[in-house]
Amino acid sequence: MVKRKKPRWTVPVGVELTEMDKKILYYQERGCLVPTRNLIKTPEQIEGIRRSGVINTGVLDLIAKEIRAGMSTLEIDRLVYDYTLSHGAIPAPLNYEGFPKSVCTSINEVVCHGIPNEFDVLEEGDIINVDVSTILDGYYSDASRMFVIGETTPEKQRLVDVARECLQIGMDVAKPYCFVGDIGNAIEKHAKKNGFSVVRDLCGHGVGLAFHEEPEVAHFGRKGTGMLLVPGMVFTIEPMINMGTWEVFVDEDDEWTVVTEDELPSAQWEHTFVMTENGVEVLTY
């Protein structure tokens, strides 16, 4: 059996402990999951991720302006690809673990990782998540929004709104030296209070120098569990909220598209954050 070691916070011999070292070591001694030093970004790295985030936000603003009934998800993909390249950046999804397009487009019962194609044409009443991720000078940013095509049903609109509230509540709870589980716990409570469920198979994640880094940011769970979040860490919160069951399956043909088990709608919002001394700062506004 392979024993997985918990990440450890180490301080070089002879170096004086900072306040941050002391706090992290305090939690580590109590058996908590703490970050490794490489998860703390330098100010220069944070600036790089911020610049990447500016382009990422530009893409989403362009989609917000252009999206409409009658448009195919392939047209969304073209807009993302052209805008990103013309700003000197690369769409992170393109060829990522074999993903064939530049953006994820997930309509109605599709939870995430929908692949743009010419046959999925947006109709009045659809709700769609457009998940954009950008690489600029090696720095990654990641954010997604929901778009409602025309007017939808009150129930689907409420799902979209509650999913957005879940992201906001996660942001509000995310303070330095809190745990990932504190965020997930608050999100899960809000979703459940509104009669919705939280997807458990997919999580937020560290991001910045790679597309997906530690820690895993679950959108459910118990307070005080998961990794300790400290200033300088960069990560996403991206709750996927379902109208019905939390259970999902992956399309067997394309091996990407994640769909709700009961085929009821799902909604998701995402931002990339840096943890500061006061709370999270959004890098993808």
Which among 196, 53, 255 has a CA at the least distance from the CA of 134?
Answer: 53
Q: Does 120 bind ligand MF3 (CB under 6 A)?
A: no
Smallest separation, CB 96 to ligand MF3 (Å): 4
Instruction: Build a one-symbol-per-residue string for 166-205: x at contacts with ligand MF3 by CB under 6 A, - elsewhere.
Output: ----------------------------------------
Amino acid residing at 265: P
Residues numbered 66 to 95 that lie near ligand MF3 (CB under 6 A) are 93
- The Cβ of residue 168 has, within 10 Å, a number of other Cβ atoms equal to 14
Which among 173, 192, 193, 191 has a CA at the least distance from the CA of 183?
Answer: 173
DSSP letter for 157, please.
Answer: H
Which among 13, 35, 14 has a CA at the least distance from the CA of 23?
Answer: 35
Q: Which stretch binds ligand MF3 (CB under 6 A): 12-20, 96-104, 154-162, 183-191?
A: 96-104
Nearer to ligand MF3, 37 or 168 (CB): 168
Smallest separation, CB 250 to ligand MF3 (Å): 11
Q: What is the dihedral of CA 197, 201, 203, 209, to 10 degrees?
A: -160
Whole-angstrom Cα distance, residue 236 to residue 40?
14
Q: Does 140 bind ligand MF3 (CB under 6 A)?
A: no
Residues numbered 236 to 255 that lie near ligand MF3 (CB under 6 A) are 238
Residues of this chain that interact with ligand MF3 (CB under 6 A) are: 93, 96-97, 99, 104, 113, 131, 133, 142, 238, 270
